[in-house]
Amino acid sequence: METLENIVYDDLHVGDTASFTRSLTEDELVLFAAVSGDVNPVHLDADFAADSMFKERIAHGMWSGSLISAALATVMPGPGTIYLEQSLSFKRPVKLDDTLTVKLSVVSKERKNRVTIACDVVNQHDQTVVSGEAKVIAPTERLSLPRPRLPRITIESFDSEQHED
């Protein structure tokens, strides 16, 4: 059974790294639009996006941000982490079938279990798409949890009939 494990404050060291990888499919475009309410057609409408400066549909910038938060919450430090702050600088668009890797690196440890972590999100060409810095309270209690299973999510077929004319 897959587990989620954390790294407690005392076991984190400056320079420690971790990573987390996900790919962008049409599902992410639809689900992120649904969960955030950001239905901008540059993410959803292939025809509209073809005429945009990006020439094709792109990911919501904050989707890359959500991958950073997932990396912090599930990999390093992992479960029990309290999220305090995040900065994000959006560098480059993310396109369908791009594979993003969140690279985390411990920058400093402070009082009261605070940790500052550099966050870089790179695509499959090793180009940075988002960079930023997180401040968290690292957990102090070791946890090893069964990884929750998600209910099945079904998205109706994504046709080109995106808007009424």
Q: Would you count residue 67 as binding its own copies (CB under 8 A)?
A: yes
DSSP structural state of residue 138:
P
**Phi and psi at residue 115, to the nearest 5°:** -135, 135
Binding-site member from 14, 34, 51, 140 for its own copies (CB under 8 A): 34
Give whichever of 125 and 153 is closer to its own copies, judged by the CB atom.
153
Spatial contact of 68 and 32, defined as CB atoms under 8 Å apart: no
Q: How far is the CB of 54 from its own copies (least distance, A)?
A: 10
Give whichever of 13 and 152 is closer to its own copies, judged by the CB atom.
152
Quick one: which segment of 8-16, 39-47, 108-116, 118-126 binds its own copies (CB under 8 A)?
Answer: 39-47
Q: Would you count residue 58 as binding its own copies (CB under 8 A)?
A: no
Q: Would you count residue 114 as binding its own copies (CB under 8 A)?
A: no
DSSP structural state of residue 38:
-
Binding-site member from 65, 106, 129, 138 for its own copies (CB under 8 A): 65
Exposure of 51 in the CB half-sphere (CA atoms within 13 A) = 4
Of the candidates 85, 67, 88, the one whose C-alpha atom is nearest the C-alpha of residue 136 is: 85
**Cα–Cα separations (whole angstroms), residue 96 to 66, 102, 145, 164:** 17, 17, 33, 25
SS3 106: strand
> Residue 135 contacts by C-beta under 8 Å, 6 or more apart in sequence?
84, 85, 86, 114, 115, 116, 117
Q: Would you count residue 16 as binding its own copies (CB under 8 A)?
A: no
Binding-site member from 79, 92, 101, 116 for its own copies (CB under 8 A): 79
Q: Which residues bind its own copies (CB under 8 A)?
A: 1, 4, 20, 22, 27-28, 30-42, 44-45, 48, 60-63, 65-70, 73-74, 79, 83-90, 145-159, 162-165
